[in-house]
């Protein structure tokens, strides 16, 4: 159930035999079912959702979190290209130096409390990260063992891959001529091996985000490589905390209900031997941990919930349930594992031309129309100059009038006298974009009155970094583990194990009837959106189970595709998660290339969930008036 509470039962905590923690439900607490977690539990807190997250999170978790493990997620596809470029300039670089700088002051307290640390801060140079951390520990007078997971960097196999005719797994594009980075998403087993060898801190290169939590659980509980359901539960625990406070109320649809944005609580999972866990946050901090906020994070950036493929396990999260068992405590259970693949997903990056993005402010009568004409004039002028210098046309152009609801396409309703004009362009020739950069300011005296906001000066011309994804055999991936510079054994299961396929969930669509009332989706559901390369996903969770049939009827794949026709150039897929009464949509070719390859204002689909929540859904009048206010059901 999603958020079921019952005033006739209460949560009880006791000391189980052997001194372990026991949790259960009895009358007058939070639910109407029985659950017991009488085994030893492991508490894992995440202090970073991306490279650039607040360093204050470390102190919060170390001093108040009562955690066993402190984990960090730093790496994204674009981050890998940045650290690769950094190492090309300096052999000592290539990792996230922020990790070492932020962690160093807390090393004595971490050591005193026996907290172990796992971070994918190694980038393309895990050994360099380990050495920098060892120097910081020595300076702090702290003796620690540091493990490094190696082998994800496959740059030395690039020519072999090109000769094999490997193509991009989504677009079918040919193998790039020159790569900037090539890294396999490793799993959790190497992390567990490093911990088993005595490492207090483990740094990795590219691994799947959830592995920084699954690795400690495999080590602590002795989970094997074919404990499918436990591996899936542990992966889900890692997935829920990998984005930091985004799992504890950050980016929640019902933002008004979330207190303390200035001091958001970092996520903590308390996991039992069988894989069930409680999602919570650091005590006495801001944020909100409820089934809906946790459910939004569960849906974030996943594809088919019945076949979510990770290096260690193929996950089925469609029947996961989320139950409130205490203030800011959600019990998560029901994940299943369906075997594993024999390959790693590899994310390579390569340079693909140049890009420039500029913004201008326009405060004027008929501002949106004037902004569009300014953009047309700039682009037309540049194209005329290009022809005179034998330069080709722009490869990609994106004009968005922000404030006039450009993100909503044909669904825009705004009428405004103040807008920001954003123009993004790409070109094969850097000189062409330098021309473009020089033709922005002249518009201030030759176009619309009210044009201002040239604070940033000329736009900077930057390389386009494009993602190239493919599969690579695990057996050809040289994964190794070192602890304090000494190689330790690690056995990676490389054979594919496929369990029986599952039938897709297909719920019934509801007929709203002749007296239907149309309401905005936001009154019926929560939503969260994200990206996977050039694919956007939007997860939609019904606020009440009885709303889902009408949401299902209204949000067909075709209607969602048409609603996002201004950005979505590919098909839309819909998947169902009956465990939390949710739908998950995948919008293919919808991000203009995605990441740093895109010149759109939202290259990661962060706003797509909010845009979809404004679509209207027919529901029976009786249901509308019973569950919604007259204003909502207008």
Residues 146 and 90 in one domain: yes
Q: What is the mean pLDDT of residues 562-585?
A: 98
- CA dist 279 and 335 (Å) reads 14
Does the residue 157 lie in any domain? Answer: no
pLDDT at 183 over 50: yes
Segment 57-72, tens digit of pLDDT: 999 999 999 999 999 9
Residues 222 and 267 in one domain: yes
Using alpha carbons only, what angle is made at residue 239 by residues 66 and 230, rounded to the nearest 5 degrees?
Answer: 85
Residue pair 66/260 in contact (Cβ under 8 Å)? The answer is: no
Is pTM beyond 0.85? Reply is yes
Q: What is the mean pLDDT of residues 220-235?
A: 98
Does the residue 13 lie in any domain? Answer: no
Helices (H), 243-366: 291-299
Q: Can you give the residue range of the structural domain that contains 56? A: 41-151+186-323+332-340
pLDDT at 33 over 50: no
Residues shown for the chain: 634
CA 294 to chain centre: 13
- CA dist 209 and 235 (Å) reads 9
Residues 356 and 310 in one domain: no
Residues 277 and 372 in one domain: no
% pLDDT > 90, the chain: 82
Domain count, the chain: 3
Residues 68 and 133 in one domain: yes
Phi, psi of 591, deg, nearest 5:
-125, 20
Q: Which of 91-105, 598-612, 616-630 has the lowest mean pLDDT?
A: 616-630
Residue pair 133/101 in contact (Cβ under 8 Å)? The answer is: no
Residues 247 and 145 in one domain: yes
Phi, psi of 582, deg, nearest 5:
-135, 160
Does the residue 552 lie in any domain? Answer: yes
Residues 436 and 551 in one domain: no
Residues 245 and 372 in one domain: no
Segment 392-407, tens digit of pLDDT: 999 999 999 999 999 9
Segment 305-335, tens digit of pLDDT: 999 999 999 999 999 999 999 999 999 999 9
Q: Give the residue from 297, 314, 340 where a domain finishes.
A: 340
Residues 137 and 219 in one domain: yes
Residues 316 and 402 in one domain: no
Segment 335-346, tens digit of pLDDT: 999 999 999 999
Residue 432's pLDDT is 98
Residue 457's pLDDT is 81
Residues 294 and 354 in one domain: no
Does the residue 74 lie in any domain? Answer: yes
**CA R_g for the chain:** 26
Residues 363 and 271 in one domain: no
Q: What is the mean pLDDT of residues 39-53?
A: 92
Does the residue 160 lie in any domain? Answer: no
Looking at residue 42, the DSSP 8-state letter turns out to be E
**Structure tokens, 344:** 């790693």
Instruction: State the chain's mean pLDDT as an integer.
Output: 91
Does the residue 479 lie in any domain? Answer: no
Does the residue 389 lie in any domain? Answer: yes
Does the residue 102 lie in any domain? Answer: yes
**What is the CATH classification number for the domain harbouring 425?**
3.30.70.1130
Segment 144-165, tens digit of pLDDT: 999 999 999 999 999 999 999 9
Residue 51's pLDDT is 87
38: confidence class by pLDDT, cuts 50, 70, 90: low
pLDDT at 22 over 70: no
Q: Is the pLDDT higher at 624 or at 368?
A: 368
């Amino acid at each position: 159930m999603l958020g079921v509470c019952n005033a006739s039962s209460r949560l009880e905590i006791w000391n189980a035999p052997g001194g372990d923690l026991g949790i259960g439900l009895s009358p007058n607490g939070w639910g109407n079912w029985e659950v017991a977690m009488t085994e030893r539990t492991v508490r894992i807190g995440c202090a970073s959702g991306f490279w650039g997250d607040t360093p204050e999170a470390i102190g919060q978790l170390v001093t108040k979190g009562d955690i066993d493990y402190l984990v960090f997620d730093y790496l994204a596809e674009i981050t890998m290209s940045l650290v690769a470029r950094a190492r090309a300039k300096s052999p000592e670089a290539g990792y996230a130096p922020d990790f070492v700088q932020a962690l160093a002051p807390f090393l004595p307290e971490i050591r005193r409390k026996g907290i172990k640390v796992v971070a994918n801060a190694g980038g393309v140079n895990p050994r360099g990260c380990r050495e920098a951390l060892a120097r910081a520990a020595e300076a702090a007078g702290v003796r620690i063992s540091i493990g490094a997971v190696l082998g994800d960097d496959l740059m030395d196999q690039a020519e072999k891959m090109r000769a094999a005719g490997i193509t991009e797994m989504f677009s079918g594009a040919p193998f790039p001529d020159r790569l900037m980075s090539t890294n396999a998403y490793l799993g959790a087993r190497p992390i567990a091996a490093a911990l088993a060898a005595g490492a207090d801190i483990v740094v990795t290169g590219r691994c799947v985000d959830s592995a920084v939590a699954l690795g400690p659980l495999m080590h602590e509980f002795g989970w094997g490589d074919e404990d499918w359901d436990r591996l899936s539960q542990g992966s889900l625990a890692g997935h829920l905390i990998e984005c930091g406070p985004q799992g504890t109320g950050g980016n929640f649809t019902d933002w008004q209900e979330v207190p303390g944005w200035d001091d958001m609580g970092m996520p903590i999972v308390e996991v039992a031997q069988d894989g069930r866990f409680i999602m919570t946050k650091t005590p006495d901090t801001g944020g909100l941990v409820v089934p809906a906020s946790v459910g939004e994070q569960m849906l974030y950036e996943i594809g088919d919930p019945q076949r979510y493929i990770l290096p260690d396990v193929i996950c089925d999260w469609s029947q996961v349930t989320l139950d409130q068992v205490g203030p800011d405590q959600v019990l998560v259970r029901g994940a299943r594992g369906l075997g594993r693949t024999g390959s790693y997903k590899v994310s390579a990056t390569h340079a693909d031309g140049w890009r420039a993005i500029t913004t201008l402010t326009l405060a004027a009568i008929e501002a949106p129309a004037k902004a569009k004409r300014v953009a047309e004039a700039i682009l037309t002028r540049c194209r005329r100059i290009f022809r005179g210098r034998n330069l080709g046309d722009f490869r990609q152009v994106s004009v968005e009038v922000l404030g006039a609801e450009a993100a909503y396409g044909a669904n825009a309703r705004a009428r405004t006298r103040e807008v920001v004009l954003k123009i993004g362009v790409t070109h094969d020739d850097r000189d062409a974009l330098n021309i473009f950069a020089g033709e922005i300011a002249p518009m201030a005296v030759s176009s619309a009155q009210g044009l201002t906001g040239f604070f940033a000066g000329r736009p900077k011309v930057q390389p386009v970094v494009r993602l190239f994804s493919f599969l690579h055999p695990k057996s050809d991936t040289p994964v190794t583990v070192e602890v304090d510079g000494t190689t330790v054994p690690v056995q990676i299961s490389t054979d594919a194990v496929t369990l029986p396929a599952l039938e897709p969930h297909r719920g019934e669509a509801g007929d709203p009837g002749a007296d239907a009332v149309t309401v905005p989706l936001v009154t019926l559901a929560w939503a969260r959106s994200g990206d996977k390369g050039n694919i956007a996903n939007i997860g939609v969770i019904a606020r009440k189970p009885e709303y889902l049939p009408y949401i299902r009827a209204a949000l067909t794949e075709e209607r969602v595709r048409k609603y996002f026709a201004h950005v979505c150039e590919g098909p839309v897929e819909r998947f169902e998660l009956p465990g939390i009464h949710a739908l998950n949509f995948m919008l293919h070719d919808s991000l203009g290339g995605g990441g740093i390859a895109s010149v759109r204002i939202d290259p990661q689909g962060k706003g797509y969930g909010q845009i979809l929540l404004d679509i209207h859904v027919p529901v029976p009048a009786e249901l509308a008036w019973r569950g919604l206010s007259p204003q909502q059901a207008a």
